[in-house]
């Protein structure tokens, strides 16, 4: 009796990034078929779809490919928690932070190589008020900018989509008064912005969580004291050169549990992996090795 053809499920977000993915996925399906793989192409139609499609993948499936931005990857990963099915990243969003971190490329040849020769590695997932995240949670300035982008988004977006929301946030943001508690110890109180995550990369190539490792079973926490536009500019410049952790008023530490709360009555937005994630208070935890990730082979 001949061996069954291994199946791969591609879960894709039709509005991710700046391009239509139809032709790309059709070519990927043909190339995988030439190598005796069957590709199931499953589009999402709304929030939560990617997670449900991943949950519905049969246990004997070869892998699930997350085709989209970091939000799509996060949602697919959420559906694979605790399962042996590995995930492959096919970057198709704007920033694709996870893809850059693991050096995944947005072309068919690279995906074929990853499928056949890639290495399966355990990857920690963070949680923010029980919602899983792949990269980091942000509180304050960046979360407000993400919220503004979400409010105006109608379809495909580009870097230009962020320009006006960032400009508005810069001039209108009021830095929240925060308390950050790590493993039951208060590490910070005051006005500022905070980041909690499992990997070092952030948007536009910044490495905010400089010591983060995706497989150490810990969260990295960076809290920056900030109460003015001038301080924000200084912190931004320092972050570009990786010197922000040396600045006065910056707290950097590791832990397993983080609580961030507001010390005043203002609504303080949160974001996870570049998507809106409600408001404070925020309870973060870590799920060590909760995801099996196939990373591309060395060049």
CA distance 139 to 176: 9
Q: Which stretch of 2-6, 19-23, 192-196 has the lowest confidence by average pLDDT? A: 2-6
Question: Higher model confidence: residue 150 or residue 260?
Answer: 260
Q: Residue 154: is its pLDDT beyond 60?
A: no
At residue 159, the pLDDT reads: 55
- Distance CA(27)–CA(177), nearest Å, equals 51
DSSP state at residue 201: B
For the segment 151-174, the average pLDDT, to the nearest whole number, is: 67
Question: In terms of DSSP bridges, do strands 7-12 and 63-68 run parallel, antiparallel, or are they unpaired?
Answer: parallel
DSSP string computed for 179-197: EEEETTEEEEEEEEEEEEE
How much is the pLDDT for 132? 97
pTM over 0.95, yes/no: no
In this predicted structure, which of 15-19, 80-84, 116-120, 205-209 has the lowest mean pLDDT? 15-19
Average pLDDT, whole number, for the chain? 90
CATH superfamily for 7-117 is: Probable inorganic polyphosphate/atp-NAD kinase; domain 1 (3.40.50.10330)
**Per-residue pLDDT tens digits for 41-61:** 999 988 789 999 999 999 999
Q: Please give the sequence-ordered ranges of beta strands (E in DSSP) within the chain, or none if there are none.
A: 7-12, 38-43, 63-68, 87-91, 119-128, 131-133, 136-139, 177-182, 185-197, 219-225, 250-255, 258-262, 269-272, 275-279, 282-295
- Domain ranges, ordered by start, for the chain: 7-117, 131-288
Q: What is the pLDDT of residue 2?
A: 45
Q: Which CATH class is domain 131-288?
A: mainly beta
Mean pLDDT of 224-233: 94
If we measure between CA atoms, which residue out of 87, 72, 120, 101 comes closest to residue 205?
101
């Amino acid at each position: 009796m001949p061996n069954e053809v291994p199946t791969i499920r591609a879960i894709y977000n039709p509005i991710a990034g700046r391009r239509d993915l139809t032709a790309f996925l059709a070519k990927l399906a043909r190339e995988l078929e030439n190598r005796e793989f069957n590709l199931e192409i499953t589009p999402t139609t709304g929030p939560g779809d990617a997670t449900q499609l991943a949950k519905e993948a049969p246990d004997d499936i070869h892998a699930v490919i997350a085709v989209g931005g970091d939000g799509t990857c996060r949602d697919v990963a959420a559906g694979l928690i605790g399962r042996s099915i590995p995930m492959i990243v096919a970057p198709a969003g704007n920033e694709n932070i996870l893809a850059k971190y693991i050096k995944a490329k947005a072309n068919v040849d690279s995906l074929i190589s990853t499928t056949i020769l890639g290495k399966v590695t355990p990857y920690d997932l963070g949680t923010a008020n029980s919602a899983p995240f792949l990269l980091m949670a942000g509180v304050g300035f960046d979360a407000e900018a993400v919220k503004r982008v979400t409010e105006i988004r109608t379809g495909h977006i580009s870097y230009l989509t962020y320009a006006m929301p960032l400009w508005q946030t810069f001039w209108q943001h009021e830095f929240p008064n925060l308390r950050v508690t790590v493993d039951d110890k208060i590490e910070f109180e005051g006005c500022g912005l905070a980041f909690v995550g499992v990997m070092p990369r952030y948007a536009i190539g910044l490495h905010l969580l400089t010591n983060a490792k995706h497989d150490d079973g810990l969260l990295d926490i960076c809290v920056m004291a900030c109460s003015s536009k001038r301080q924000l500019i200084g912190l931004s410049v320092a972050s570009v050169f990786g010197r922000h952790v040396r600045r006065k008023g910056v707290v950097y530490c590791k832990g397993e549990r983080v609580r961030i709360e507001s010390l005043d009555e203002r609504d303080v937005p949160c974001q996870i992996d570049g998507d809106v994630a409600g408001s404070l208070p925020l309870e973060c935890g870590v799920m060590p090795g909760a995801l099996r990730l196939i990373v591309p082979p060395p060049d």
